[in-house]
Structures are given as C-alpha cells and as structure tokens.
Structure 1
Amino acid sequence: MAHSHARARALAAAVFFTIAASSFSAATAPDSSFRCFDSIVSFGDSLSDTGNDLFPGLHQGPCLAANPPYGRTYFHRPTGRLSDGRLVVDFIAQSIGLPLLKPYFSEAHQKAAQRRRSFSTGVNFAAAGSAVLPYEFYEKIGYQNPWATDGRKYLEKCLVVLGPLGGNDYNHLFLQGMTLDKVQLVAPLVVTRIGSTIQELIKLGAATILVPGSLPDGCMPISLTIHEKSSTPNDYDPQNGCLRWMNQFCRHHNHLLQEELQRIRELHPHVNIMYADYYNATMRMHLSPNQFGFGSQILRSCCGGGGTYNYDPDKRCGTPQAKCCRDPAEYISWDGVHFMEAANGLIAQGLLQGLYTDPPFSTICLINSTAKPRAIAEY
C-alpha cells in the first residue's frame, strides 16, 4: 500500500511538472455557445475521468470501464469513461466548441513520453477513485482509502473544472461503517482542502474555476443497496425513494462548500469562481422523471448484477456476470455509481444555461464583474 501511494505521489509530481512547463495556446471554437474559453483543464474523480482510469498503476484492481458495455451509446466502444457515453465535462467541452477532453495518461502520453506535449485545448487529470484528503489522513483515523490519488494545477484563458470532489472521501467511510455524526466531522476538512486547492490554482494564474457540489448520493443504486438491510421506511424520502439522511448530508457538504467559495471570492474578487449545483441539477430528474424522458427505473442501474436496485458489488458492470438493460431511456444511473449519458447531458445543459451555476456561465463570458453570487435553493 505504501508503495502504491508513493507511486501516486510521483505521478502527481509528474503532472505538476508537465503543467508548469507547458504553455496553452489559443484554439478556435466553431459553433460554440460560449467563446470565451480556449481550453479546459479538469480535475476530479470517476464522474469526470475521460480515460485516465485505463492507465495501469493509478489504482488497484481491474479497470472495468475498459470492458463492454461501457461506452456503447456514443463511442460504441469502451473509452475508460464510467458511463454508456459522454460525461458532463464532455458536453461542456462540445458546447464551448472544444474537442472532447483527452486524459493526461492517454496512449498518446505513453508514446510521446520523451517529447513535449500540446495542451492547446486542455487536458483531463480526473481519475476514478480520487479523494480530497490524503491517504495518511485515513490511516491516522483507522480507516482506509485504497484508491487515494492526488491531483491539481493550472492557468488563465481556460476553464478549470475542479470536481466533483469529496464523494469518495465520504463514501469510503460510510462503506466501512463510520457513523453519520463522525462523517459530518470530516466534511469541514474536505471543504477546507478543496478551498486550499482553489487558492493554489489562483496563485498559478487560473481566472475561471467551476467547482461542482455533491450529488444526491442517497439516490444512487450503490447507496440504496448498501444501506437497504439497515434502513427503515422513515429513512426514505416519500417523494423520490432516495435515502433522506444521506441526501441531507450531501446538502450539508454543499452548504459548507458554498460558504468556502464565498470566502475565497472576497479574497480574490477578480477571479471567476462558479459553484456548480450538481445536487439540484440531478434531483430534478428524480422528482420529475417523465418530464426529462426517463421511465420507471430511475433508482435502478441499467448495467448491473441484480438485486432491488440492480447493483451487486460482486457482479459490477464490466464483469461477465453483469447484464445490461435493453432500454436505457428508463434509467438515470448507468452502473449504480455513475450516470447514463442522457443524465450527464441534462446536468451539463442545466449548468450551461445558468440554471445551476452561481454565477451563470453567461455572466462570466460577458465578463460581468458586477454579477453577485445568488443563493441556490435546495429541493
């Protein structure tokens, strides 16, 4: 374990060196909704990973996203994305006229290890399993985070997408039996770490940073399955069937995060810091599935190994034991942990339209420095 963590730190150091040594040149953005960004740099976990998960040595265990039926809807082949198609960051890139974001640890990276690489339209450092807090933190409190990786850094005429982050920190603790009260004590540490990373990015020249909040994890098939035996009817929200207490915790994280973002805005008034409300952008699908084209299977995964929510940790999507749904339009969740392409597209649409970003994309692109952050209501 110590060896794998040292390797993760070495990889993070390599990432920093490459970014610090590289300059980003302008790129044209044909047919785009917003023409104010030349590139995108993304950090985060599996919800934003466009293929780094394929790189050997980043984490333990097999890469299930390298196997069918991953990627079947849009790419018609596995690409390392943990979905049937595009991710939120893919839709954002296409909407601002940029190519799909390439993973840093791509095949091209391996072939061109000895020569300077071009990041003219951006790069993606998001890696499945990434956490905010370091491995040593979990070791100290007597828990484990076997997937702990690290990542950050970058520049100016660029949209920096920092997240989603934090979900893995909390979920590893819940999975190992830590109580809600104790996990809540970890939340300020996670948010503070995200805040310090934002300030590091600002020091390096980042001018626009999009910071997603937590998703409604209580609606995820993995969460519903894990807590199914220990839950009572009162634990479920009658409106949507999601775990009420877990979603309350996710909203608690988001409240702390928004407070931290406002604090940083006041310290750096000339930097555009956008809060991306992934929680409500997703929750609207659970509250009104028919309105958004989803069917009756919104709490089940499309690809899985059976059970009430079609999620079985021993028969995960990408293994021979798992089966894939015939009608993906019925589902919000692809594999119990990650979204269908259709859901990712709706989240991105809500962000780009300004419904779920604070301040909206349009005010950032118009360089409206007088726009004030607004409070975002929770469903």
Structure 2
Amino acid sequence: MRMNYTIAILLILISASNQASSACFKSIISFGDSLADTGNAIHLAPSDTYPYSAMLPYGQTFFHRPTGRASDGRLIIDFIADALGLPFVQPFFRPSSCDFSGGVNFAVAGCTALADSFWAEEGIQVWLANTSLADQLSWFKELFLPKFCHTPSDCKNYLETSLTVVGEIGGNDYKHALLGGKSFQSTLALVPKVVKAISSTINELIKLGAKTILVPGNLPMGCSAVYLTYFKTSNQTFYDPKTGCLNWLNAVFRHHNELLQTELNRIRQQNTKINIVYADYYNAAMPFYKSPQKYGFIEGALIACCGCGGPYNYNQTSFCGFEGCSTCEDPSLHVSWDGLHLTEAAYGVIADSLLGGSFTIPPLSELCVLPSKTMIMVT
C-alpha cells in the first residue's frame, strides 16, 4: 500500500478565506451530471432506485461516508471550491436548510443535456426523470433565485461575483445512445444537438447576469471500464496501443469537445465582456492514461478500484457497492473508481491542471488571482 505522502499533488491552500474569495469569486453556481453532483441525486431518487453513491464504499476516502458523490472522495468541483477559498458547493436539494451564500449545485447524476422527451421518442427511459440541463436551469431561475435574492440588484450581484460552472454535460446522452444500440454515426449526429443545449443554457445564464462561466468538455470515456467491457473485442486495431483505450469511442468525445469549443468562440464574439472559459478535461486526463505510473497510479488507469470482476473489474449486472463486489485497498493507486467515474486522486490531478491554467482556455489563472500554492496530501 502506497504511503499517503507519495500521492501529493499541487493544490491551493488559503491563509484567509475571505481574502481568497474576494480576490476571485464569492460563490460557485454549478450545473451538470455525476462528475459534479455533490448530493442532489440522493434526495431526488425514489427509494427503490437509490443511487449507488448513497452507499459505501462511495465517499470512503475523504468524507468517510457516502455523500452522493460518485467517487471515493472529492470531485473536481470540490477541489476548485477549496482552491478559491470557498466551502464545498452545497446540493440544492437537501432535507434541511443550508447556507448557499458560498455556492449552490444543481448537478444531478444521470443528467442529460437533451430533454427527457427526446429520449422518450428514441425509446430510451432516463434513470431520473426531469433532471436534464434545462430542468436544472429552471430550478435555478424559478426556485432558487426568487428565494435567495431579495431584489433584482441582489441577483445581479450574486451572478456577477460567482463562478458559474456548466458541465461536464453530454456524457450521459452519448451513453444512452451507445449502450442503447445506436451506431457510431448516429451517436455522432447527436453531438450538435447536445452542444446546442449547452449553448442555450450559457446564453440564458449570460442574460441573467453571469460574468464568468467555466464550461468543461468531456473526458476520454473510451478509456472507461464500462465501455471497454461493453465493447470488448479481439480486434486490436480498435484500441490505442499507448493507452489501451477505444480509439473510435474517444473520437466521439473529441468531436463533442471540438464542436463545443467552436460554439464557445461564437458566444465570446457576441459577448465580449463575458469571460467564457473552456476546461479541457480530455487533455488534462490523457497524460495519466498514457503514463499512469508517472502520476502515482501504479495499479494502472483502466482497471476499476471498486467492482465485481472481469478484465477491467467491471460487471454489467453487479456494480460497485453490490454484495459480492470488492474495493481495492488503496484507491489512490487507481485512476478508475467504479468503471465510469474516477478516483479522488485522479480528479485531483485534473483539477490541479485546470487551476494551473494549462488546460483552461483562456487560462483561469489570468482571470483570477489565486492564492499561493503549497503541497498537500490526498489521503
């Protein structure tokens, strides 16, 4: 078992949270799916379809209990909040009242960019109804702002001083298509529709007063155990020899990212006073898929830490947390947590790359004077 100090990554510590937040943003407003959900799905899901993230071993590393986060610990949004000197972003749906002054999270695991009606026409039933990106925007406009803001001026100030994060989004749309039997070409045809849904949300947020919007692209999901298991083949030409990832599948997510960046450029041109920042999750993650040991992931990047067996420790009928499944001794040695989501350690590496400005366009570090950096441990 690797010692905790060997997993050290660059993160940002604050000496005075008020100074840090006033130098950058006073709060975070988040939309998205399981990559950003900090607990909404737990409170929205009916008792007979409770999300796996509501059970151990989810949350075991940092929180030592399940919080609804689809990982063993913190997510990218948690690392960003910590770096800005802000509290972890609270899920909007909670049984008890909480303070949203430091931020609010509308992200829901399983969320799609496209509306439920689209998937109904395709004959596909979404896991959790009425949680699409448009639904999340409606919660923000119709449920949150009227209660949180006392005057239009309050709302305007809140949005102007917040970092608004839209995504990652779209991964579940492509998952529905691919695992629902859609062809590669049919899945590619969805990309413009997904990007349009994201664009529409961004434009609406700008109208409401958002000044700085961070828009993540998709991860290289062709490297995930779910897809590697589902589309396993003996034809080695389907795989990247350097990573073992599915080339054709990663092409879908690269196409999404390319179209998304083109659309963000168009929005920038129309809104020259708004900061639109693209977060390149794909290329921030790819280095540890190419050289996992270099980043301390000595158990590799493709095999899930928590699972029920198979070549990638992912079973299509029994999932992480199910009876009979097992969890690796040290999640920080793995990139993959449950076959679809990443470990806290992997999310930490991505967050560090974003905060450093290497994988944000324009560099986030140019828009926000971040506190000094220090080495800390991900335990």
State TM-score, norm by structure 2. 0.84
CA distance, structure 1, for counterparts of residue 360 and residue 52 of structure 2: 32
Give the Cα–Cα distance (whole angstroms) in 1 for the partners of residues 221 and 122 of structure 2: 23
Aligned AA (1:333): S
2:273 to 270, 284, 287: 270
Structure 1, residues 166-192: CA drift from partner, whole Å, max 9, x if none?
A: 000011110011001011111000001
> How far apart in 2 are the matches of 1:138 and 1:60?
22
CA shift, 1:232, in A, is 1.7
- SS at 2:160's partner residue? coil
Tell me the residue number matched to 2:165: 161
**Which residue number corresponds to residue 24 of structure 2?**
36
1:40 counterpart SS class: strand
Query: CA 1:338/1:223 → structure 2, altered by over 3 Å: closer, same or farther?
Result: same
Matched with 1:242 is 245
Q: 1:76 aligns with which of 61, 64, 71?
A: 64
The CA deviation at 1:329 is 3.1
Pairing 1:30-179 to 2, within 5 Å after superposition: 30=18, 32=20, 35-57=23-45, 61-109=49-97, 118-148=99-129, 149-150=131-132, 151-152=136-137, 153=140, 155-179=159-183
Q: 1:169 to 1:286 in 2, by over 3 A?
A: same
Is the 8 Å Cα contact of residues 85 and 340 (structure 1) preserved in structure 2? yes
Instruction: Give the number of the structure with larger relative contact order, counting CA–CA contacts within 8 Å between residues 6 or more apart.
Output: 2
CA RMSD between the two structures: 1.9
More helix by share: 2
Partner of 1:306: 309
- 1:206-217 to 2 correspondence within 5 Å? 206-217=210-221
Structure 2 unaligned regions, length at least 5: 1-15, 142-158, 370-379
Contact 2:44–2:93 (8 Å) recurs in 1: no
Identity %: 49
C-alpha deviation, 1:320, in angstroms: 1.6
Matched, 1:328 2:316: no
In the alignment, which residue of structure 2 is the partner of 1:345?
A: 348
Q: How many residues are aligned here? A: 332
Question: CA–CA distance in 1 between the matches of 2:91 and 2:328?
Answer: 28
What is the TM-score when the length of structure 1 is the normalising length?
Answer: 0.84
The equivalent residue for 1:23 is none
Determine the C-alpha separation between the residues in 2 that align with 1:118 and 1:327.
34
| CA deviation vs aligned residue, 1:340-379 (integer Å, no higher than 9, x gap) | 000111111000000100011122126xxxxxxxxxxxxx
Contact 1:29 1:38 in 2 (8 A): no
Instruction: Evaluate the alpha carbon distance shift between residue 59 and residue 313 of structure 1 in structure 2; reply closer, same or farther with a 3 A threshold.
Output: farther
1:144, CA displacement in angstroms? 3.5
- Cα distance in 2 for partners of 1:42, 1:60 equals 27
Q: Which ranges of structure 1 fall in alignment gaps of 5 or more residues?
A: 1-27, 110-116, 367-379
User: C-alpha distance in 2, partners of 1:338/1:60?
Assistant: 22
